[in-house]
Amino acid sequence: MFRSNPMRILFITGEFPPMQGGVGDCTNEIAQELAARGAEVQVLTSTQARDLRRSSSVVRPPSFVVRPIIERWDWSSHRVLARVLREFAPHIAHIQYQTGAFAMHPAINFAPRFLKSSRTKFVTTFHDLRVPYLFPKAAPVRDWVTRELARASDAVIATNDDDYAQLSTLNLKLLTLIPIGSNIPITASPNHPRNAWRAQLGIRDDETLLCYFGFLNESKGGETLIRALALIPNAKLLMIGGKVGASDPTNAIYLSKIESLISDLHLTDRVLWTDYTPPEIVTANFYASDVCVLPYRDGASYRRGTLMAALAHGCAIVTTQVQGSKFKVTGQLPPLRDGENCLLVPPDDPRALAEAIQRAMASPELRAKIGAGARALAQHFTWDRIVEQHLELYRQIAG
């Protein structure tokens, strides 16, 4: 597509594989697709990605240049970013923004204003506009620097309806909605030897296997999940993936709270942990499970890569309703529908969550129906669609 005159795109991200985190995985998927279309792509990221890559035996070389050279995401990072912008001269500098991935430091929020040039257009994807649960007092300052980043960017991308509606109040230069997809490619067929895998996990024929995917943090309803498990006899819970991730230091604090709760409720033997595994093992664990439970405290949202992965795998999902928002949802994306592509319950309600899980457990037909609905819904969030939307935006602002 770009062979004769390639578009140059620089991604700026606080995390990147093999660092564990959904923003890094999302950036990798988009960069791979763009490079396959002939774009010239570079990724500027943390030195931690370089250090982990050296010790990793499973990371494949990307089809683009990765520059893991940012030691600290503070004001000193501007010097490094300015040098890369001079050397690479990208048409597009695309910030993949989540405050935790940038060490919760505001320096990156001012990069488009301080480093703007006529040859490079800045695009920012906001992966998460929510106030961190463990830092609520930082909300006014965080909102101010978020607005600064959005207004200084030449284009802004929201990943879901609610964030789009919120950003639309800021009178931005250009705002568009482009969702994310699943950060777990499906590498095995649905005919995976499910029973053998369940036996390997220690699941008896008369037991139900629930699964949860993703890091534990305050926003994801881990306590509600564990309390609901205590209400469900004859079920085990498989915690798929890494426990805390690479970016948010508060996750480790929350993990400790969950582990204490599991012990207090005498559920240690019923909670299984996989830790970080390759995608094919994640897929096998999804297929081995009966119900996927994702009880987000702020309601299910397409900003969640964990939800997108469960949808793509056609899981029978029990998740949480979005509570009332002061922003009018645009309806640009197809919705989650209770009983059609998932089961929805109120957040922070262990009993309601347990009842919905037991309802799904009791009906293979219901599980099959919502699983098929989830897989159909996921077709709206494929990476080829997502990358075409990115290219359309890049052409619009870069000429």
Contacts (Cβ under 8 Å, ≥6 apart) of 96: 11, 12, 13, 14, 23, 26, 27, 125, 127
pLDDT surpassing 70 at residue 8: yes
Q: What is the pLDDT of residues 292-304, one digit of tens each?
A: 999 999 999 999 9
Predicted local confidence at residue 141, as pLDDT: 65
Cα separation, 363 vs 359, in Å, equals: 7
- Tell me whether the CATH fold assigned to 8-181+382-398 matches the one assigned to 194-380: yes
What percentage of the chain has pLDDT greater than the value 90? 71
pTM listed for this prediction: 0.88
**What distance separates the 2 farthest-apart alpha carbons in the chain?**
65
Domain spanning 194-380 has what CATH number? 3.40.50.2000
Q: What is the pLDDT of residues 164-211, one digit of tens each?
A: 999 999 999 999 999 999 999 887 666 778 999 999 999 999 999 999
- The kind and range of the H/E element at 11 are strand 8-13
Predicted local confidence at residue 117, as pLDDT: 84
Which one of 3.40.50.1820, 1.10.150.530, 3.40.50.2000, 3.40.640.10 gives the CATH number of domain 8-181+382-398? 3.40.50.2000
236 and 271 Cβ atoms separated by less than 8 Å: yes
pLDDT surpassing 90 at residue 60: no
What residue ranges do the domains of the chain occupy? Answer: 8-181+382-398, 194-380
Mean of all residue pLDDT scores within the chain = 89
- State the pairing for strand pair 271-275/343-345: unpaired
